[in-house]
Amino acid sequence: MKRRGFLGSVGAGVVGATVAGTASSAPPATRTEAGALVDLTLTVNGRRRRVAVEPRWSLLRVLRDTLGLTGTKVGCERGECGACTVLIDGLPRYSCLTLALEAEGHDVTTVEGVLQGERLGPVQQAFVEEDGMQCGYCTPGQVMAAEGLLRRNPQPTVDEIRLGMSGNLCRCGAYGHICRSVRRAAELRKGGDEA
């Protein structure tokens, strides 16, 4: 037997054993036709919304394209930049990596949901006061990460702010201003006006 023949027969045997093992141990898969929609009820910014989605759609896509909440930004769509950060049950999550179906039964908060009527919320106001943005593209995700951090820890240290914001990238490099914005937001949330 030549070497090429030996490698071919071993490879075919491994593939055959793998297929046979998979076929016998795996439960039969249920299939959804491509393009088939399923009903979904989401609670977004305190409001229940009923939508029809494909099971493969991300929460980011549903928020922007179906519900029209375009404050949540499309960035890398790989969970690397944080521009799409939203809160799910108060915790920051990348909406590009979260299936819309995963959010059913949970409270989703977008950057539009932290407004106080027509006024900016404390975190948004702090970003304006401390110039926590330059181009502004990452700002909605930064605001939501800061909101999530301050809900868990109302008075974070500088190191805790850096850690809490570390999943959000700013291509402009405004990290010093972002850190000051989060500190100012903590003051505003507790009702202080000191700078």
Residues 6+ apart with CB under 8 A from 156: 149, 150, 164, 182, 186
In a domain, 57, yes or no: yes
pLDDT at residue 129, as a whole number: 97
Residues 52, 74, single domain; the answer is yes
The whole-angstrom separation of Cα 114 and Cα 166 is 21
For the cut 80, the answer to whether the pLDDT of residue 146 exceeds it is: yes
Q: Which domain holds residue 47?
A: 38-114
pLDDT at residue 35, as a whole number: 77
Query: Domain with 137 in it: what CATH number?
Result: 1.10.150.120
Residues 83, 134, single domain; the answer is no
- Choosing from 114, 144, 162, the residue where a domain stops is 114
Average pLDDT over residues 62-79: 97
In a domain, 21, yes or no: no
> Lowest-confidence range among 11-20, 35-44, 53-62?
11-20
- Choosing from 114, 140, 175, the residue where a domain stops is 114
Residues 154, 104, single domain; the answer is no
In a domain, 110, yes or no: yes
> Lowest-confidence range among 2-6, 158-162, 167-171?
2-6
Q: What percent of the chain has pLDDT over 70?
A: 81
Residues 129, 106, single domain; the answer is no
In a domain, 15, yes or no: no
For the cut 50, the answer to whether the pLDDT of residue 37 exceeds it is: yes
Residue 152: in which H helix or E strand, if any?
helix 139-152
In a domain, 77, yes or no: yes
For the cut 70, the answer to whether the pLDDT of residue 122 exceeds it is: yes
pLDDT at residue 27, as a whole number: 57
Q: What percent of the chain has pLDDT over 90?
A: 79
For the cut 60, the answer to whether the pLDDT of residue 81 exceeds it is: yes
Q: What is the pLDDT of residues 82-102, one digit of tens each?
A: 999 999 999 999 999 999 999
Q: Are the C-beta atoms of residues 111 and 63 closer than 8 Å to each other?
A: no
In a domain, 102, yes or no: yes
- Choosing from 89, 114, 139, the residue where a domain stops is 114
Domain count, the chain: 2
Would you place residue 191 in the very low, low, confident or very high pLDDT band (cuts 50, 70, 90)? confident
Residues 47, 110, single domain; the answer is yes
Residue 194 region by backbone torsions, left for phi larger than 0, else alpha for psi between -120 and 50, else beta = beta
Mean per-residue pLDDT over the chain, rounded? 89
Query: Domain with 81 in it: what CATH number?
Result: 3.10.20.30
Residues 70, 95, single domain; the answer is yes
Would you place residue 195 in the very low, low, confident or very high pLDDT band (cuts 50, 70, 90)? very low
31 vs 56 pLDDT, higher one: 56
Residues 104, 135, single domain; the answer is no
In a domain, 65, yes or no: yes
Residue type, 157: T
Residue 131 region by backbone torsions, left for phi larger than 0, else alpha for psi between -120 and 50, else beta = left
Query: What is the separation, in whole angstroms, between the first and last Cα of the chain?
Result: 82
> Lowest-confidence range among 22-26, 47-51, 68-72?
22-26
In a domain, 173, yes or no: yes
pLDDT at residue 87, as a whole number: 98
Residues 148, 100, single domain; the answer is no
The whole-angstrom separation of Cα 56 and Cα 80 is 20
For the cut 60, the answer to whether the pLDDT of residue 165 exceeds it is: yes
